[in-house]
A and B are shown apart, each in its own frame.
Chain A
Amino acid sequence: MEIDKENVVQAVVIMDTFNDHFNPISKCKPMSLLPVAGVPLINYILESLAHGGVGEVILFCCQDGPTIKDYIRKSIENKAIWSVTMDVQVMMSDSCQTMGDVMREIDAAGLVRGYFILAGVNTITNINFGALLEQHKQLCKKDKGAAMTLVYKKVAWEHPLIGSDKPIFLAADANTNKVLMHHKYKPKSTEKSISLPLEVVLNHSEVKLHHNLADANIALCSPSVPPLFSDNFDFQTRDDFVHGILINEEILASSLYYTLLKGNQYAAAVTNWKTYQTVCRDVLHNWAYPLSFETGSTEQNNYLFMGNHIFREKSSTLSRSCSLIEDVLIGSQTHINDNTVVSKSVIGKNCVIGNNVTITGSHIMNNVVIKDNCKVLNSFIDEQCTIGENSVIENGTIIASNVVVDAGSQLKGTLLESSEVDKEKSLMKSTSECTEWENESSGSGGDDFIGFEKSWSSSESCYSSDGSDESSLPDSPVPEDTNIFLQEVIDSLARGYEEKLKNDYLILEINSSRYAYNIQLHEVNFFVVRALLSMPVLAENKNVLNTVKDILKYFRPVLSNYIKTKSSIMDCLRAVEDSCIKCEWLDGKSGQVLHLLYEADVVDEDSLIEWHKDLEENESPIANQTSLVKFFDWLEEASEESDDSD
């Protein structure tokens, strides 16, 4: 194996999803050990990589590294099938908060030698990675700039994999499969139209538009990808990367391609509870063959197939009067008692299900006890839980491990976890929080809908959460990108002013925030000046004008970087106008501020006069301020004087 190290296919698996879609389950165990159809996610990805001809895998953990390392070590000791052909390396870094950080870390450590596969731990697939990577290499011979090939699976438009995740719209050159446009809808968005830039159609003889692609979180990367992440530290996620590459294609000299999987290949990513459910079903229905609910164990065929996609482990025991309807998986040593009805559910190992229980659309992990006459609908119950008699658990209730639910409880769309502080298996009810979240997210347009299948639960009250990166706390209004941008610029300027940072760094910081929030250049000019005039020092200070003078002097390089052309000067003046209206500390001082700017050579006379005209035409509230009138009188005099002297 050592000899042809150059030819070994490398894969990088990112073991975190950097979101909280699986809270509270993901809090107490790493995402990679979340069982899908009874098998931890990590087994699926490792086995599929081994099947796909990958020789070396780097597992990149940002959290729970030791747990995963331990798990890998145990698997190797147990001679898991993948351990024979694959070299698995666990990398740990607690400092990484996003996928971008991970890629930068990989670049810094020089972990990848060449072309590599980038996958998430939540990927379940049976594709031949080696062949796809070879295809990508061929493509790179034709186009030196090819950075990444995205792997998508075509599915029906109604498919839950699309509907419950963020759907993608993709425009690509039909001849080369080069991605021209990549747009992610917001879930449940009401966008009715999408705008396709004209040059996309004009510059290519044939353009393919896809709207029915499921993203499997797999990408085939060129060696240039990690450095690209390092160079652009505003790339936080793969979507940022895709977006950044498409916008700055010429600057970064990189391009993106995509590939669709063939008919008999399956790929999906577990991104939220709804896709979790769908993927479980697909695994039971054998779509991911050779991956199955027996993946990861060396012994196969331990399950009995009972028709209707019902499988039970040989050592499980069923009561004669219980009935299994369809899509059921029952783990070893589990016992199901009389008159119990199970449908579309996965039940783990060593569970005891009582009499007259109804379980539908639910996922029950190992060692769970469900007592008599319970109803469990569309819910998730983690390990070691006990559900008391006559309880009703429904509508996307998620119960973390070691919870004891009292007899007769009624739970709807609740998150339950045992509080570990007092080490007693007590209940922490978070019902109210949950509904709050729900109201909040529906109020702000619903960023992420991640409950269980709606059609299964009659009501819509599923657990939903707001998991995107820029979201703030539920009680604050969701700010727009420009507002965040302004706030960030103010923050960095204030910090720069306090700590006397170099102006060059500040410019770099502002530029990176600009790319992060996708702000146009003229807006940047506007916001920088606006930020300068709204710095917190000004609000606190009595002698505003002196401070403004100080600030302008200090930030002269920043200003001259942005305010160069005529149009940028106009942006600057508009910002002054805006600040004078909005900031109370500048009330009535617009003339003086302008004077300072004029003295500092930031603005010139012609623009000032033009702007003044605009002010009067638009009847701006500051047009008649005495200080402003005075300033322009002075300006006219001064210009006359200078004219005279000519």
Chain B
Amino acid sequence: MSPSKGSGKDLDDKFIDLIGKFVSDIKNGKLRGSNNIALSMVTLLETIISDSQNATAYELCTAVRAAGRRVAAALPHELVASNVTRRILRAVRDENRAHANQVNQTVEGSGESLQRLVLAAGARRATLGAAQHDLREPLRDHIAELRGELESSVSSVCGQAKEHVHGDEVILTYGASALAEKFLRAAPRTYKLILAEGPETAESHAMAHRLSTAGISVTVVSSASIYAVMSRVNKVVISVSAALGGGAVLAAAGLSAVTQAARHYSVPVLALAPLYKLCPVHATDASYFNALAPPHSALPYERHECASDNVHVYAPMYDFAPPDHITLFITNLGGSSPSYMYRLLSELYDPNDYNL
């Protein structure tokens, strides 16, 4: 999925400055949380689209794609930004096609049917050259819709909490996550929560504290004892960094141990994945699975082990959980099984944009 080289030429200087601002905001920590990043990315791309001089489908696609590539190159681990770019590209393509359809309006069959989609597959892959008209106006609606979806995604995921978490159940969650916290708050408060410490211990403790003040019975366990407590757990709820194409997930380091234990005890695992976390990345892409985080959480720098030249401290950034460890993805559209993820992907993104 690595972006191809040489994309700077396609963009105006003012856009490059905007992108630089966006990237440095994320790097400085001014912009945190995948949802916020996704929303700012939409705003950024909206500016690029509305300020483009030439608003044909081809021009817009090029500009948006170049911006997406640039962000992806600077921030390879913010997968959300790339996903949003793909969504907008899809919108441009759809709008272009709709317009093309309008132009050569045929009498029979208005609206899209499954049969039409299949037959039109060739046309869908066609180049964007032909139509020469302004797409900005219709795209504005698409972008507003996308923004609305992003804004409501957390609440719509959390809205499903009642269906999955019931009274007197024992729920296990791993590490600190804003989404998981909201989800657990939205559920009826009679369940018992076991919170396993993630790599950021202090944040896990803070989350446990907030939940317990909200009236949920919380037990914090160390990540080493996950296997021991798993037999008593009814459901595992986790928030993921990215839901991958094959139904696997990328999540905070250490998650693999949780899902393995859950699998062994046949405990259902619910992965909270709003649609913007769906990535057309497949489990063969090593760059995400090998990424290293700073090792401070694994071994403090003060320790005398670090003084030696022969010590290697590894702290992986992500953990990978295969599709068969996940029971259900909870997206804003409802629950879907891992084997259905590929279908969602092709609904959300155009296959041409899988590689930005």
> A interface vs B, CB < 8 Å?
50-51, 53, 79, 81-85, 153-160, 212, 263-264, 266, 281, 285-290, 298-301, 304-305, 308-309, 326-327, 344, 453, 455-456
CA distance A51 to B307 in the complex (A): 27
CA distance A484 to B304 in the complex (A): 41
Do B309 and A159 touch (CB < 8 A)? no
- Residue with the highest number of chain A CB atoms closer than 10 Å, among B76, B294, B297: B294
- Residue with the highest number of chain B CB atoms closer than 10 Å, among A79, A83, A154: A79
CA distance A485 to B332 in the complex (A): 79
Q: Name the interface residues of B40-98: CB closer than 8 Å to any CB of A.
A: 70, 73-76
Expressed in whole angstroms, the minimum distance between the Cβ of A418 and any Cβ of chain B is: 32
Looking at the complex, which of B15-23, B130-138, B234-242, B344-352 is the stretch in contact with chain A? Answer: B15-23
Expressed in whole angstroms, the minimum distance between the Cβ of A343 and any Cβ of chain B is: 11
Do A298 and B307 touch (CB < 8 A)? no
Do B301 and A287 touch (CB < 8 A)? yes
Do A301 and B73 touch (CB < 8 A)? yes
Q: Name the interface residues of B236-269: CB closer than 8 Å to any CB of A.
A: none
Instruction: Report which of A263, A453, A456 forms a contact with B296, defined as CB distance below 8 A.
Output: A263
Instruction: Report which of A51, A160, A286, A308 forms a contact with B295, defined as CB distance below 8 A.
Output: A286
Nearest residue (CB) in B for A301 is B76
Instruction: Report which of A264, A298, A455 forms a contact with B73, defined as CB distance below 8 A.
Output: A298
Instruction: Report which of B24, B73, B293, B302 forms a contact with A154, defined as CB distance below 8 A.
Output: B302
| Interface flag for B306 (CB, 8 Å) | yes
Do B296 and A287 touch (CB < 8 A)? yes
Nearest 8 A/B pairs, CB to CB: A289-B294, A84-B20, A156-B304, A159-B307, A301-B76, A264-B296, A299-B73, A305-B290
Nearest residue (CB) in B for A47 is B27
CA distance A305 to B27 in the complex (A): 22
* Majority SS at the chain A contact face: loop
CA distance A481 to B24 in the complex (A): 50
CA distance A276 to B286 in the complex (A): 31
Expressed in whole angstroms, the minimum distance between the Cβ of B26 and any Cβ of chain A is: 10
Expressed in whole angstroms, the minimum distance between the Cβ of B199 and any Cβ of chain A is: 11
Do A53 and B312 touch (CB < 8 A)? no
Do A309 and B306 touch (CB < 8 A)? no
| Interface flag for B144 (CB, 8 Å) | no
Do A81 and B73 touch (CB < 8 A)? no
Instruction: Report which of B24, B305, B308 forms a contact with A50, defined as CB distance below 8 A.
Output: B24
Expressed in whole angstroms, the minimum distance between the Cβ of B15 and any Cβ of chain A is: 11
Interface residues on B, range: 35 or more
CA distance A256 to B303 in the complex (A): 28
**Contact flag A156-B302 (CB < 8 Å), given A82-B24, A286-B293, A300-B75:** yes
| Interface flag for B110 (CB, 8 Å) | no
CA distance A298 to B70 in the complex (A): 8
> B interface vs A, CB < 8 Å?
2, 16-17, 20-21, 23-24, 27-29, 70, 73-76, 286-287, 290-297, 300-309, 312-313, 315
CA distance A51 to B27 in the complex (A): 6
- 6 A-B pairs with C-beta separation under 8 A: A85-B24, A158-B308, A281-B309, A285-B312, A304-B287, A305-B286
CA distance A301 to B300 in the complex (A): 26
Expressed in whole angstroms, the minimum distance between the Cβ of A23 and any Cβ of chain B is: 25
CA distance A231 to B49 in the complex (A): 58
Expressed in whole angstroms, the minimum distance between the Cβ of B44 and any Cβ of chain A is: 13
Do A309 and B312 touch (CB < 8 A)? yes
CA distance A148 to B73 in the complex (A): 39
Apart from A81-B23, A81-B74, A305-B290: 20 A-B pairs, beta carbons within 8 A: A50-B24, A51-B27, A79-B20, A83-B20, A84-B21, A154-B302, A156-B305, A157-B304, A158-B307, A159-B307, A263-B296, A264-B294, A285-B312, A287-B296, A298-B74, A299-B73, A300-B73, A327-B312, A453-B309, A455-B309
- Enumerate chain B residues within 8 angstroms of A309, measured Cβ to Cβ: 312
Expressed in whole angstroms, the minimum distance between the Cβ of B237 and any Cβ of chain A is: 27
Do A156 and B75 touch (CB < 8 A)? no
CA distance A84 to B18 in the complex (A): 9
CA distance A326 to B76 in the complex (A): 25
CA distance A154 to B301 in the complex (A): 8
Nearest residue (CB) in A for B76 is A301
- Enumerate chain A residues within 8 angstroms of B294, measured Cβ to Cβ: 264, 266, 286-289
- Enumerate chain B residues within 8 angstroms of A308, measured Cβ to Cβ: 312
- Enumerate chain A residues within 8 angstroms of B291, measured Cβ to Cβ: 305
- Enumerate chain A residues within 8 angstroms of B29, measured Cβ to Cβ: 51
CA distance A300 to B291 in the complex (A): 12
- Enumerate chain A residues within 8 angstroms of B308, measured Cβ to Cβ: 158
CA distance A79 to B75 in the complex (A): 15
Do B76 and A84 touch (CB < 8 A)? no
CA distance A50 to B25 in the complex (A): 10
Nearest residue (CB) in B for A266 is B301
CA distance A159 to B300 in the complex (A): 13
Nearest residue (CB) in A for B7 is A299
- Enumerate chain A residues within 8 angstroms of B304, measured Cβ to Cβ: 156-159
